Amino acid sequence: MSVRGRSIAGLASLLTLSACALLNPMALTRLAALDPLEIAPEQMSVAAVMPVPLKLRTGDVVLHFAMEAPAPYGPVNEALPLEIVSGDNAPGVSASPSFERIQVARVAQADLARLAAAQAKARAFKATGRKDGKGSISVTIKGGCRDGAINPGALAAEIFMRSQADEQYFLVSSVNLRKLLTDDAIAKLPLCDPRQG
């Protein structure tokens, strides 16, 4: 369920994007160029193309930033439930409206300071040159709901990411959810609350 990117010198940090699939080979190059300590929290976002009738809700996508390091730098363990916003403005992401939907997840305004503080601690530790710490940043899809009947056949989902607001999203992974989830697990997905759009 996870894909791995580059280690960060001095921190042995690992960028991990969990999306229930293997890493798209082209995404490896893009992820290798990212430094998770320098990504502005308000600019990082994930876009998911989900098969209708599956839907993500706020809190179904979680950003986890963790670091094991001696005091005063660590430990850091922040799990931030991302908020789902409109998927209409997701450059680089396309979907067929008749059977797919695009949803974008980002760090909620109330959590931006927490992530920025965690990154600052990690940068401060990295600046010491010590090698006795390790850290990770991950994005995981942990849930979902359905707003209609699920038809038999493939349930293809694609996960995209970007680290800057002025860039296009790039494809990280794609997967047939039926190969990862049992029919029973899919059938037990809760119905979406119509009040949540």
Looking at the whole model, is its pTM more than 0.75? yes
The two three-digit tokens of residue 129, written as one number: 């040159």
Which pLDDT score, from 0 to 100, does residue 181 have?
Answer: 76
CB atoms within 10 A of CB 71: 6
Spatial distance between the Cα atoms of 135 and 142, rounded to a whole number of angstroms: 21
Which pLDDT score, from 0 to 100, does residue 139 have?
Answer: 79
159: helix, strand or coil: strand
pLDDT tens digits along 128-186: 988 888 888 777 888 889 888 888 888 888 888 888 888 999 888 888 888 877 888 88
Averaged pLDDT for residues 55-74: 89
pLDDT at 10 over 60: no
User: 46 near 104, Cβ under 8 Å?
Assistant: yes
User: Strand pairing partners for 139?
Assistant: 17, 63
